[in-house]
Amino acid sequence: MSTLTQDDKKRAVARKAIDFVPDDSIIGVGTGSTVNFFIDELARIKARIDGCVSSSDASTARLKAHGIPVYELSSVGELQVYIDGADEVNHSLHMIKGGGGALTREKIVASAAREFICIADEAKYVSKLGAFPVAVEVIPMARSVVARELVHLGGHPELRQGFTTDNGNLILDVHDLDILKPLEMETAINQIAGVVCCGIFARQHAHVLLLGADDGVKVIR
């Protein structure tokens, strides 16, 4: 029986992700507990890279605390790689993200990268998305309008209490969505007036999944 904890598996994928960091590059960095381990590992090789573009204020603070330069996305060109975690990831490498509330900036930074490397422990690997609620970032005045439309899509939205995104918006966490076709559901949610972004990453899916398991890190493409 394995003695590895969930944090052990997160540390393992964080270390493995360093293999995907090109020298002399500016890379995209996501947000969350697994990414925090990655940032700590990145600090060990910070002399090899030029810096990072961060997807959240929290990650920016952690990167700067390690002395890693952080750049605005608008000041750099295409990123070679974006490394981030997931709340769920399926066999097609579609994901649900946004548990930390940084989904919009994560999706923007991911869109600027040639390759998206997802780092996760095996508990996040699922055959069907949707057990984890889908975060939807909404403009505050549209909260009720968006919530009604999400109910029409089969979901049960709940306001994330006491939380404001780095963009100054609200999060609706949508439970019980039947996500048989992630790309179609992502599109349907994003088309609701007042939605800034939703946490289904099907269009902006991962290219590589580094999955922490009891028997080591699996590389899934």
Q: Which residues are catalytic?
A: 106
Does 64 show up as a binding residue in the annotation?
no
Does 215 show up as a binding residue in the annotation?
no
- Strands of the chain (E only): list them: 26-29, 51-54, 70-71, 79-84, 88-89, 95-96, 113-121, 134-138, 156-159, 170-175, 195-198, 200-201, 208-213, 216-220
Does 97 show up as a binding residue in the annotation?
yes
Does 31 show up as a binding residue in the annotation?
yes
Does 58 show up as a binding residue in the annotation?
no
Nearest to 88 by CA among 8, 182, 168: 182
Does 154 show up as a binding residue in the annotation?
no
Does 33 show up as a binding residue in the annotation?
yes
Task: Confirm if 125 and 9 have CB atoms less than 8 A apart.
Answer: no
Known binding residues for substrate are 31-34, 84-87, 97-100, 124
Mark the binding-site residues, compressed into ranges. Answer: 31-34, 84-87, 97-100, 124
